[in-house]
Amino acid sequence: MSFDLYKKRLLSYGNDDKDVVLNNTQHMINKSFADSFGYSVVKIDDVDTEVVIINKDDSTQKELLLRPNQTTKKGATVFIGTQYYLVTDFNGNGINQKAKIKLCNNILTLKGNPITVTKTNDFGEEYEEIISYDTIEIPCIAETQIIFQDQKREQAINLPEGRINVTIPYTEHEDITINKEFEMYGEKYKIIGIDYTQSINKEGLIIIKGQKVV
């Protein structure tokens, strides 16, 4: 086979040498992906997604490898087995698509749609009366410590007594405002701050800062 014919066949996999390497690498990864150790199908934002699960020393954290060109986003919810996780970071270059996830240890409950019953007034006219509200349940990470990296090691600092941080996917709701109250671990907390620094363009994570109500 002549070199020109060989190169022509190679370029059938892309527009130039770089594309050929990229496409061939993606093809090889996809071909063996389902045979990888840790392969599983999980739900990411309620969509079945093929991943390779990498366990970490910390049992509350994992890494997910996705197929080439498959993406997710910070703040996505991941359901594995019987547990929810939140995507805390995602990086990808079209070949190595990697997400970091952290275990959700609680549920933040918000007020949902009204539940009504039909009644009749003194004039025989029907009207709808709100008797209660359904609920919106958001998997969350509730913490009484701040975790940070120090020389490649995680360090923890306890929050002041009665304080709690609740991390959830970016959510806009009337209950997520300063001075609103929420319940966590059977205790009531008042929202004293909302950290949006881990979100952009209404995607990502927000951290609700709560103070125990006494």
What pLDDT score was predicted for residue 11? 47
Burial class (CB in 10 A: 0-12, 13-18, 19+), 136: middle
**What's the pLDDT at 114?**
87
Q: What is the pLDDT of residues 48-72, one digit of tens each?
A: 999 999 999 889 999 999 998 889 9
Taking a C-beta distance cutoff of 8 angstroms, is the pair 149, 180 a contact? no
pLDDT in tens, 111-159: 998 889 999 999 999 999 999 889 999 999 999 998 777 767 778 899 9
Residue-wise DSSP of 72-120: --TT-EEEETTEEEEEEEEEE-SS-EEEEEEE--EEEEEEEEEEEEEEE
Domains of the chain: 3-103 (2.40.10), 106-212 (2.40.10)
Integer-rounded Cα radius of gyration of the chain: 24
